[in-house]
Amino acid sequence: MLYQQIEQNKRKTILLVLLFSILVIGAGCAVGYLGYENIWLGLGWAAAVLVFYVPITYMSANSQVLRVSGARPATREEHPQLYHIIEELCIPARIPMPKIYIVEDPSPNAFATGIKPEKGAVAFTTGLLERLNREELEAVAAHEIAHIRNYDIRLMTISIALISVIAILADMGTRMLFHQRRGNSNKKTHPAVYVIALAFIILSPIAARFVHFAVSRNREYLADATAIEMTRNATGLKNALIKISGSDLNVLRANKTTASMYISNPFSKERKKQGTSWFSTHPSMASRIERLERM
Amino acid sequence: MAWVGLGIVVIVVLYVIATYNGLVKLRNWVKESWSQIDVQLKRRHDLIPNLVETVKGYAKHEQETLEKIIQARNQMLNGTPNERIEADNQLQSALKSIFALGEAYPDLKANQNFLRLQEELTNSENKVAYSRQLYNKTVAEYNIKRESFPSNIIAGMFSFKEEQLLTIPEAEKAVPKVSF
């Protein structure tokens, strides 16, 4: 049931925050040790970054994604059909009407944002609106609304924020290493601990990314399933995904960080890959379509 | 031992309260989702005279179809939930024949007003369908809680009544299986 989905997502968010916090603190300790032979100093930094950076990202994530992607609000007069479709879908999803945005881009894609349903927003590229018929557009909108109502975006936002914290710390760590090699002494550093700290700094951003992508891929399958539970129409989504994956265009203003927010990978090269790797933001189109056909 | 007894009593009381509140919540969701259907039926009811007026000018020979629509429209706002849904089903098939008229009268099909009304009615129709779906899902959830053990004891104590599902053959919309 969907309500269990939501509860599960909220629990997963907490678990994810804990897991990432351990990674951040670990990376902080490693940086402190390598740089100043003082674990506590690194720990302090990590804690400071966690306390300030994460809540700020969390609160500004909504407007940031919309700004970065160049989305502008859609008016009801301009896009009556799109408004109708979203209004319709809010009924089975039982969420308030999200804001609707348009991204001027010939590549067909869509994303949703909003850390809770009351602040939800959905954005569609002009390429998507041109290519899809009402049924397919409804399916894509249902997928995005599924992300909002399942609290996927909260999970993804926090995960992105934490990844960047770990990336910052790892970056600091690598800079220090260079600095030290040219500097004079690090006699007090025990070689074994040194290696562990080094490994931590190199591996923690990779591990964080790995977890993030795994969570992201899983959410895509679930949003597809929720969308079909709402619309009771698997064909619409299947056709929409086929049309989207068939495009050779990249979403111009998408970047690595926002890529996981889109319904399909915004970079056509990634989108056309056959298999699903550990570092894919989305499951492969083939496997999504296959699951839709089985429903 | 007294503490253990007290603990059990506290747990039971808390359980009764939580279950009672859960049932009340679900019962209100059922009411809310019915009123959703009501709102949408009313909206469609309001759109129909405009549609009939638009079509009249183009399709003078289709008097019978138009009369059928008006008749079904008038039945829609009275009666029990299931009667009203029945009237709505008749209206829906009558509306389909109106939109089919668009094919026979190219001028009508190109009429902006007709196109706009067609989109509005599609919107209304979808909303009715989604509201029904939500209503049935909510009723099912309520009834499951009302009937399953041990929450049925509490439902019985406070006489929570069974809610009726809307029974419409949804031939075109088969329910897909969602399994993971």
pLDDT digits (tens), chain B, 180 positions: 788 999 999 999 999 999 999 899 999 988 888 888 888 888 888 888 877 777 777 766 677 777 777 777 777 767 777 777 777 777 777 777 777 777 777 777 777 777 888 888 888 888 888 888 888 888 988 999 889 888 888 888 888 888 888 775 544 444 444 444
Which residues make beta-bridge pairs with A121? A99, A113
Mean pLDDT confidence for A39-57:
82
Identify which of B120, B130, B180 has the shortest CB distance to residue A92. Answer: B130
How far A181 CA lies from chain B's nearest CA (Å)? 52
Q: Pick the closest to residue B124 from B54, B30, B36 (CA basis).
A: B36
In whole angstroms, give the CA distance from residue A255 to residue A160.
Answer: 13
ipTM: 0.71
Does residue A146 sit at the B interface (CB-CB below 8 Å)?
Answer: no
Q: State whether B130 and A88 contact (CB < 8 Å).
A: yes
| Cα-Cα-Cα-Cα dihedral sign, residues A155, A157, A162, A163 | positive
**List of residues 6+ apart from A239 with CB closer than 8 A:** A135, A136, A139
Would the pLDDT of A145 be above 90?
yes
Q: Pick the closest to residue A233 from B92, B170, B115 (CA basis).
A: B170
The answer to whether the beta carbons of residues A130 and A121 sit under 8 Å apart is: no
In whole angstroms, give the CA distance from residue A25 to residue A23.
Answer: 5
Q: If you average pLDDT over every residue of chain A, what do you get?
A: 83
The answer to whether the beta carbons of residues A271 and A288 sit under 8 Å apart is: no
Using pLDDT thresholds of 50, 70 and 90, give the confidence band for residue A24. confident
Most distant CA atoms of chain B, gap in Å: 87
* pLDDT tens track for A151-175: 888 888 888 888 888 888 888 877 7
List chain B residues with CB under 8 Å of A230.
130
Query: pTM for the full model?
Result: 0.79
List chain A residues with CB under 8 Å of B137.
92
Describe the strand order of the beta sheet including A99-103 as a list of residue ranges. Answer: A71-73, A99-103, A121-125, A110-113
How far B154 CA lies from chain A's nearest CA (Å)? 22
DSSP string, B3-51: HHHHHHHHHHHHHHHHHHHHHHHHHHHHHHHHHHHHHHHHHHHHHHHHH
Identify which of A92, A222, A295 has the shortest CB distance to residue B177. Answer: A295
Compare A222 and B99 and report the one with higher pLDDT.
A222
Does residue A135 sit at the B interface (CB-CB below 8 Å)?
Answer: no
pLDDT of residue B169: 52
Would the pLDDT of A220 be above 80?
yes
Least confident of A55-59, A70-74, A234-238: A55-59
pLDDT of residue A186: 52
By residue count, chain B amounts to 180
pLDDT of residue B91: 78
Q: State whether A232 and B174 contact (CB < 8 Å).
A: yes
Identify which of A81, A221, A228 has the shortest CB distance to residue B119. Answer: A81
How far B3 CA lies from chain A's nearest CA (Å)? 33
Would the pLDDT of A200 be above 70?
yes
In whole angstroms, give the CA distance from residue A156 to residue A215.
Answer: 8
* Amino acid letter, A216: S
List chain B residues with CB under 8 Å of A232.
133, 173-176
Q: Evaluate the omega torsion of the peptide bond into residue A55 and state whether it is cis, within 30 degrees of 0.
A: no
Q: State whether B176 and A221 contact (CB < 8 Å).
A: no
